[in-house]
C-alpha cells in the first residue's frame, strides 16, 4: 500500500541521521503527521527531549525544530525551561570551538568519531525497561571518500 512514509537524511543533523514522516491512517487523528528521527546506528527518536538526552553536549538542539527538521532561530526566544547546567559560552572562554555548542550544522566538522559518555548529571528518570544503562556510543561517523 502506499502509506506515505519517507525517511531521508536530515541536513540539520550530523551525517547519518535520518528524519521520517509518518502519516496516521486511521483513528481520530488520521492525517496527522508524526515525525521520527533515526540515529546513524538505527535508534528511533520520537521527541526532541529524547534526542537531546541522547546527544548530550555533543550537539546543541536549541535552534533545532523537531517537527520541520530545520534550524529555527526563533526557538531561542521561546525556549522552554533550560536545565541549570547550561554553560555560558559567550564569555571569553577559550575552547576548542569545533567541539562545543553551538555547532555548525552544515558541515561535517567531526574529523574523527565522537564518543559521548553519559555523565552523572541530572538523575535519569526511572526507566529501567531496558535493564541497563546506555553504553558509550558512537554518534556520528566520519565521511569517507
Of the candidate residues 22, 58, 71, 100, the single one contacting DNA (CB under 7 A): 22
Quote the least distance from Cβ 30 to DNA, whole Å: 6
Residue 49's SS3 state is helix
Residue closest to 56 by CA, chosen among 3, 122, 132: 122
Task: With CA atoms as reference, report the closest residue to 66 among 42, 83, 49, 85.
Answer: 49
Judged by CB under 7 A, the residue of 49, 56, 102, 113 near DNA is 49
Q: Is 132 in the site for DNA (CB under 7 A)?
A: no
Binding of residue 30 to DNA (CB under 7 A): yes
Distance CA 119, CA 71 (A): 27
Task: List residues binding DNA (CB under 7 A).
Answer: 3, 5, 22, 24-30, 34, 44, 46-50, 66-67, 78, 80-81
Amino acid at each position: 500500500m502506499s502509506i506515505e512514509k519517507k525517511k531521508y537524511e536530515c541536513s540539520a543533523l550530523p551525517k547519518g541521521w535520518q528524519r521520517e514522516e509518518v502519516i496516521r491512517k486511521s483513528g481520530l487523528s488520521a492525517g496527522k503527521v508524526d515525525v521520527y528521527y533515526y540515529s546513524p546506528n538505527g535508534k528511533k527518536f520520537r521527541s526532541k527531549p529524547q534526542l537531546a538526552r541522547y546527544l548530550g553536549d555533543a550537539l546543541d538542539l536549541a535552534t533545532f525544530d523537531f517537527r520541520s527538521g530545520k534550524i529555527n532561530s526563533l526557538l531561542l526566544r521561546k525556549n522552554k525551561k533550560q536545565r541549570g547546567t547550561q554553560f555560558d559560552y559567550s564569555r571569553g572562554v577559550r575552547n576548542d570551538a569545533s567541539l562545543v555548542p553551538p555547532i555548525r550544522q552544515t558541515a561535517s566538522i567531526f574529523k574523527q568519531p565522537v564518543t559521548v559518555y553519559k555523565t552523572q548529571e541530572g538523575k535519569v528518570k526511572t526507566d529501567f525497561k531496558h535493564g541497563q544503562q546506555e553504553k558509550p556510543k558512537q554518534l556520528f561517523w566520519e565521511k569517507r571518500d
